[in-house]
Structure 1
Amino acid sequence: MIVNERETPEGLLVAVCDDDVLGRTFEEGELSLTVTEEFYGGDEVDESAVIDSLARATVANIVGTRAVELAIEEGFVDEANVLEVDGTHHAQLLRMH
């Protein structure tokens, strides 16, 4: 998986995606999701590093079936809040402090 972390005035923004969705656009009806290198590109990491990043995130955007499954398994995302777009999954995390 690929992780990109950015510090913002509001906290840590984390973008996570499966390797195979980077650079792709998913469209379904009115929905369009583009997994850009600019936003999602970063370091290729293992699952434990993804978990660590999500644990520290204030906001996270997660794209890809495996990345979203991991976020659900680890309790970061509720499966009921996952969006499916053209065969891939997308979820967002917002942690209120």
Structure 2
Amino acid sequence: MYLKIHKQGDGMVLAACDQKLIGSKLKKGKICVEVTESFYKGDIVSEEKLMEELKCCVNANLFGEKVINCAIKCGMVDPDTVMIIDGVPHVQIYRV
């Protein structure tokens, strides 16, 4: 799994995806998303490391079965909120 943290001012966005998804273009109706290297390709991390980072993040953008299962396992995502885009699970997390 790839993990990349984007910092902007006082905030940050955690981006994570399954490795095989880099470069994918996903479509569902009017939704069109590209899983770009520039946004998602960071460090290759273990499930434990991703769970640790997810618990601390404020915002996250997640793609892929492995990443989403990890987020569900650590209690950050309700399985009923997972969106499927072109067969790929996707979740965005926003803490207010």
Count of residues paired in the alignment: 96
Distance of 1:44 and 1:51 partners within structure 2: 13
Distance of 1:85 and 1:7 partners within structure 2: 26
Distance of 2:38 and 2:7 partners within structure 1: 15
Residue in 2 that maps onto 1:49: 49
One-letter amino acid of the counterpart of residue 81, structure 1? T
Structure 1 gap segments, 5+ residues each: none
Q: CA RMSD in A?
A: 1.1
- TM-score, scaled to structure 2: 0.92
Distance of 1:90 and 1:70 partners within structure 2: 12
Distance of 1:52 and 1:8 partners within structure 2: 21
Distance of 1:23 and 1:43 partners within structure 2: 16
Give CA-to-partner distance per residue, 1:58-94, whole Å, 9 cap, x none. 1000001111111111110111211101110100111
Deviates more, 1:7-16 or 1:73-82: 7-16
Matched ranges for 1:1-97 at <5 A:
1-96=1-96
Distance of 1:88 and 1:37 partners within structure 2: 17
One-letter amino acid of the counterpart of residue 31, structure 1? I
Distance of 1:8 and 1:49 partners within structure 2: 22
Q: Secondary structure at the match of 2:92?
A: strand
- TM-score, scaled to structure 1: 0.91
Identity %: 32
